[in-house]
Structure 1
């Protein structure tokens, strides 16, 4: 009896493992809501509400005010009108605090008040998408010299169709994409969706 119970628990655990793997096209995107910032003002972002307006690009990034993330945010801000023309919205997600994101979202060199970024300090949203976060290194500082005290998500982008299903998923690690290439690839996909 005890062996059967242990075997059953082992099988159950094995069956649960894929739920934590990175999501792929065709999977339903996990719904989430989170504190977010747009142009330095905090609000509550809801994926469900955003999908009512069209497709959504959800991009996970390591940290505000770091080289690659700054480039990626700046490129999204520059291309924002093209995303809007394709009926697509953008939401960046990191483990940054909302206070850091208020500064990052308003900074004209980065998000420039053009799109929101959400705070996922415990990494629960990332985990639901199968995006892992590495612990920050002690003493690490951002480009402003401010200490970074949170984990770093693997740079991963998801394009979610209006139906709530993932259309595309790609990461810097597996797809060898530079931060600004994430933006260009996501834009090409949402433009294609808009013409269907």
Structure 2
């Protein structure tokens, strides 16, 4: 295959993927007051693997579950860094944060050290079961959409945020956590 044909094929594939992603937003059918689906997933924090249980984490206080499409992509990296920068504020409110994507455990392990700066766990939902349960799976591809939830200790959705930008998710979840604390 010539270079120009290879370039054309790559451009066509990229365009197709972009259209599929744009045409398949999350439904965010989970609303305030809905019961949050319980889950357990393999995680990584600061390059070390472990496990996360929503049920166990809710015993300690509220939990932010944020779904992101792909580690080490521009917006997802910005979002992770913004959550990491704001972790002292979340911790002051006794809020646990976990990021969830369909990336492999190897990929989230690297991401947990780099962009998450070791400040919170990220989970590997490779089969997208958790993303589906939270209406955060893109329809056309095996990727999570950008949707965030704040869940109260009684296992209820307190706040939901979905938008394409990475900065609004940490800030909206922090704002919701501050309101919850009052």
TM-score past 0.5 threshold: yes
CA shift, 1:70, in A, is: 0.2
**Corresponding residue number in structure 1 for 2:159:** 168
Mind listing any 5+ residue stretches in structure 2 that lack a counterpart? 1-26
Cα shift at 1:21: 6.5
Give how far 1:135 is off: 4.9
Partner of 1:96: 103
Among 125, 134, 137, the alignment partner of 1:129 is 134
**Alignment of 1:37 onto 2:28:** no
| 1:133 Cα deviation from its structure 2 partner | 2.5
> What is the CA distance between 1:152 and its match in structure 2?
2.2
Question: 1:141 — aligned with what?
Answer: none
Who is 2:112 aligned against?
105
Native 8 Å contact 1:123 1:133 kept in 2? no
SS at match of 2:86: helix
Larger Rg: 1
Q: Deviations over 1:2-55 (max 9, x none)?
A: xxxxxxxxxxxxxxxxxx972111000000000000000110100011101110
**Structure 1 unaligned residues grouped into runs of 5+:** 1-19, 137-150
The alpha carbon displacement at 1:134 in A equals 4.8
Q: Which residue of structure 1 aligns with residue 62 of structure 2?
A: 55
Structure 1 residue matching 2:167: 3-state secondary structure: helix
**Is 1:187 aligned with 2:160?**
no
TM-score when normalising by structure 1 = 0.76
Q: Structure 1 stretches (4+) deviating beyond 4 angstroms?
A: none
Partner Cα distance (1:187, 1:71) in 2: 16
Q: What's the RMSD between the two structures over aligned residues? A: 1.4
Contact 2:101 2:124 survives alignment (8 Å): yes
